[in-house]
Amino acid sequence: MLRSTMMEPDLTINSLFRHGRRVHLDSLVLTYQGAGNISEATFGEVADHADRLAAALARLGVHDGDRVGTFMWNHDAHLAAYLAVPCMGAVLHTLNIRLFPEQLAYVINHAADKVILVDGSIAPLLAKVRDQLTTVEYIVVRGDGDTDGLGATLNYDELIGAEEPGYDYPEPNERSAAAMCYTSGTTGNPKGVAYSHRSTFLHSIATHSAQTLQFSQNERVLLIVPQFHANAWGIPYGAWSVGADMVMPQQYLRAAPLAELIEATRPTISGAVPTVLNDILQNAPDADLSSLRYVVCGGSAVPRALIEGYRSTFGVDIVQAWGMTETSPL
């Protein structure tokens, strides 16, 4: 057999991370803070944030293969965790904030999460199950909130503020686990799905295709789909790898704030579930959504009336997407 002369680097999230921070360092992540306020971070700044987070987690004793849970909304810090955790060789476990308490405790224990990063605004939901968690050594709280019931916690900003950019990432094997999600689409307890670096890399490249999401540096993507829902359908990694701006709504998912965010940031593509899109159609029909080329909709079947309503009211096409948590969402 004549072997090729082509390079064959491992297909890892580390490669995507390096490419985004070097080539697209000026692309933007816009996070809605409420009351019309939108914060802005460049890819370069998010990458530095990820470096600090990786260093902080390493200082807490997170090693290769350890699971790090995130109990967070969509925002730039959650994106930093998407990059830092798998690139340092650990496994990102995005926790569904809408699980019943007994299911939440089950998936945390089953995954053996070592550290959980939690937004202060939803800390009480995690506190409900704290005394049932058998593997969690540290809970790191980002932002203000009621932390009663969580026991000893660490402050996220103080933790990463003590570190510097320039973390020396290892090179994980492309077939090692990078992230995991639990699907509740079956009977019994939620089932865990582990995504490899390789599968995530290939899925990210697939989002650039004209037959899928058509991501490019010219797009600005609004992530309404939660980052805990099948890793936000792979959108963060796909957008990062081509330098597409990202818009993060945090917890502001009702019609009025979403309409305001769309009008202010002018995204060209979005991904959401039907209930959110229907809320906008019913309660913000005068919103200016003209910047959107299309909206990818999944999670359940899209009603014909919703597709027709968006086309006639906003002039925006809804594209029905289908995928499974078990196979990557596209």
Tens-binned pLDDT, residue by residue, of the chain (330 aa): 999 999 889 999 999 999 999 999 999 999 999 999 999 999 999 999 999 999 999 999 999 999 999 999 999 999 999 999 999 999 999 999 999 999 999 999 999 999 999 999 999 999 999 999 999 999 999 999 999 999 999 999 999 999 999 999 999 999 999 999 998 767 889 999 999 999 999 999 999 999 899 999 999 999 999 999 999 999 999 999 999 999 999 999 999 999 999 999 999 999 999 999 999 999 999 999 999 999 999 888 999 999 999 999 999 999 998 888 888 877
CA distance 273 to 316: 15
| Predicted structure pTM score | 0.97
Q: What residue ranges define each of the domains in the chain, with the CATH number in brackets?
A: 13-28+44-198 (3.40.50.12780)
R_g of the chain computed on alpha carbons: 19
- CA-based max dimension of the chain: 65
